[in-house]
Amino acid sequence: MFRGATKITLDDKGRMVMPTRYRQQIAELAQGKLVVTVDRDQCLLIYPLPEWEQTERKLMSLPTLNATARRLQRLMVGYATDLPLDGHGRVLLPPELREFAKLGRNGMLIGQGNRFELWDEARWNERRDLWLNTETASSDLPSELESLSL
C-alpha cells in the first residue's frame, strides 16, 4: 500500500526520482514497471503494472455505447504509458503527460493505496486547501461513508 505525501522535483529532462521508501515495494509488485496515465482532476496517476492491468480490464469492460464510459476509456487508456524505473529509481515522464498535469519543476507525490497521484505542487496546495475549506454536509456523503468512523 502506498501512502503519504512527498515533495518531489522533476529534472530538466522530466525525470522524477521515486522516493526510496517505495522502490522495494514497486520492485516486488511489478519488477520496477509502472504505468502512468491522466486523471480527470488534471493530475497523473501512477500504477505498478499489475495494478494498472486490473484497472485497465475494468475500464475496458465498461459499455462503449455509454458516452461517459467511452470518454474515460479514451483518456485513461489512451494516455497510459509504460514507465520503467531506471537504475537510479527515476522515471521519465513524457512531455504530453507533464503538459496535461501542468507539472512544473516541483511536484507532490500522493500515495493512494494501490497507486500514486502526481500533482504540480502549487496546484496540489490550492486543491488541498479548497478541499479542507469546503464544508461537506453529511447528506452529501455516499452511504458507504456515513458509517465510517475516522
CATH number of 5-134, picked from 3.40.1550.20, 3.40.50.200, 1.25.60.10, 2.70.98.20: 3.40.1550.20
Q: What's the pTM?
A: 0.89
Question: Mind listing the pLDDT tens digit for each residue in 53-106?
Answer: 999 999 999 998 999 999 999 999 999 999 999 999 999 999 999 999 999 999
Distance CA 110, CA 132 (A): 16
Domain spans in the chain, listed from the N-terminal domain onward: 5-134
Question: Mind listing the pLDDT tens digit for each residue in 3-24?
Answer: 999 999 999 999 999 999 999 9
Quick one: pLDDT at residue 144?
73
What is the DSSP code (8-state) at residue 83? E
In the chain, the amino acid numbered 24 is Q
